Amino acid sequence: MIHLDANGSTAMLPEVLEAMLPWLRDGHANPSGAYASARAARQAIETARQQVASWIGADPDEIVFTSGGTESANTALRAMDRLVGQGSAVITAIEHSAVLRAAEELQRPVKHAPVHPDGRLDLDRFAALLPGAALASVMAANNETGVIQPLAEAASMARERGIPIHSDAVQLAGKAELNVRRLGVDFLSISAHKFHGPKGIGALYIRRGIRFSPWLVGGTQENARRAGTENLPGIVGLGKAASLLMARGSGHSDLRAHRDLFEERLLRNLDGVTVNGSTQHRLPNTSHLSFAGCEAVDLIQLLDQAGIECSAGSACMAGKIRPSHVQLAMGFDGPRGRSSLRFSFSILNSREEAMRAADLVTAAVLRLRTGNAGIAPTSCGILRG
């Protein structure tokens, strides 16, 4: 199989697994203990904290380990909700469901800032929503289209009004430069399995000096900011993945080259293919495409049979297939949205796989357009991550 769903999840790097194995085998000590093996476990956690902090331009005491991006986003939004005064919450219309659903639970009205047709946040409309706002959340890069958002500009606008701001940077981490100081955010979420670490572990950056109250309470783990015995192997794996990606640098020329080769080959071989979202401001690994005359859910089934793993942007709503909320925010019509697929590369993909994948996608599209697909009916396709 050729895995082109890195925005959904990535395979662990061998070095990450090797770093975790000793703690999976022998690391049974509770890091809160006072004996030697517990102190070793505590040191491993602090080493990982330093690795993550260095990677994103933070200080170690600003990093809190969580179970992943969803918990991190929920924690940040709930903390701001409890501590800020009256006012609305301003989020973008294209946020991941972890932010959208968490915002619905806040004790305040929520306002959704629109995006331009290219998927980039409309900064003028965002600024117009800030008067009367008490908190904000703007994703760093969209999980579906890969479009990178003007986060630093949005954070500056919020900061000028004294409004705390969170960013879901789950998709940006490992694919583009990520520095919390340059971005100017107060909270930022990442998840290890998006950049070749293990599942079930993530981190929340909490700017030093910002008011904060924990969501999970009990013990005093994570400097009393997240109760519960730490996931030691996962934390070690997260730290190792962060250090490996930091060593690779922020150029990501191989990711971009493979993605561009894939797109160019498809566009050369097929008519009726549209690249969705900004091509100037997008992650180097992500290709979001619409295929005229095709239904994405059928195309995914054919590609799965052919050995290609990717994601569809359509979702099943009351038995009907419709574009995702991201596509709707960008103004996609029904056919364009229903024919959209996301292909997302990782550093483990090769040039040969990019070319092979383009040829397999071409063949699948032609089969659908000529009515020779021979596939069973399906109800919906769901984009994940």
Per-residue pLDDT of the chain (385 residues; tens, 9 = 90+): 999 999 999 999 999 999 999 999 999 999 999 999 999 999 999 999 999 999 999 999 999 999 999 999 999 999 999 999 999 999 999 999 999 999 999 999 999 999 999 999 999 999 999 999 999 999 999 999 999 999 999 999 999 999 999 999 999 999 999 999 999 999 999 999 999 999 999 999 999 999 999 999 999 999 999 999 999 999 999 999 999 999 988 678 899 999 999 999 999 999 999 999 999 999 999 999 999 999 999 999 999 999 999 998 655 444 456 789 999 999 988 889 899 999 999 999 999 999 999 999 999 999 999 986 665 555 454 565 7
CB 30 within 8 A of CB 16: no
Number of domain units in the chain: 2
> Distance between CA atoms of 219 and 225, rounded to whole angstroms?
9
Q: Is 258 part of any domain? A: yes
Q: How far is 208 from 350, CA to CA, in rounded Å? A: 41
CA distances from 289 to 21, 183, 312 (A): 39, 29, 10
Please report, for the domain that includes residue 117, its CATH number: 3.40.640.10
Does 340 reside within a domain?
A: yes
b vs e for 260-273, b when ≥16 Cβ sit within 10 Å of the residue's Cβ? ebbbebbeeebeeb
Burial of 40 (0-12, 13-18, 19+ CB in 10 A): middle
- Looking at the structure, do residues 348 and 244 belong to the same domain, yes or no? no
Same domain, 87 and 132: yes
The model's pTM: 0.94
Q: What are phi and psi of 258, to 5 degrees?
A: -70, -40
Q: Which residues are catalytic?
A: 316
Whether 225 and 295 share a structural domain: no
The residues, any chain, with a CB within 8 Å of residue 118's CB and separated by 6 or more, are 147, 277, 278, 281, 330
Contacts of residue 356, Cβ cutoff 8 Å, sequence gap at least 6: 2
Q: What distances in angstroms separate CA 195 from CA 182, 186, 199, 244, 347, one per listed residue? A: 21, 22, 10, 10, 9
* Position 2 in a domain: no
7, part of any domain? no
Please, are residues 152 and 183 in contact by the beta-carbon 8 Å criterion?
A: yes
pLDDT value of position 383:
61
Contact in structure between 48 and 222 (CB atoms under 8 Å): no
Distance between CA atoms of residues 260 and 271, nearest Å:
17
Cβ pair 39, 32 in contact under 8 A:
no
The verdict on 64 and 189 lying in the same domain is yes
Helix, strand, or coil here: 203?
A: strand
Place of tokens 């996931």: 231
Q: Is residue 377 part of a domain?
A: no
**End-to-end alpha-carbon separation of the chain, Å?**
19
> Which residue has tokens 């032609």?
366
Residues 232, 257, single domain; the answer is no
Question: Within this chain, do residues 358 and 235 fall inside the same structural domain, yes or no?
Answer: no
List, in sequence order, every residue forming a beta bridge with 311; answer none if it has no partner.
342
- Considering the domain architecture, whether residues 231 and 276 belong to the same structural domain is answered as no
Say what the pLDDT of residue 374 is: 62
pLDDT, position 380: 52
- Do residues 350 and 360 touch, judged by C-beta distance below 8 A? no
Decide if 228 is inside a domain.
Answer: yes
Q: What is the structure's pLDDT at 146?
A: 97
What CATH number does residue 315 fall under? 3.90.1150.10
Parent domain of 147: 14-248
Q: Which of 253, 251, 309, 282 is nearest to 142 (CA)?
A: 282
By residue count, the chain amounts to 385
58 with 187, same domain: the answer is yes
Residues 273 and 228 in one domain: no
Residues 155 and 136: their CA atoms lie apart, in Å, by 9
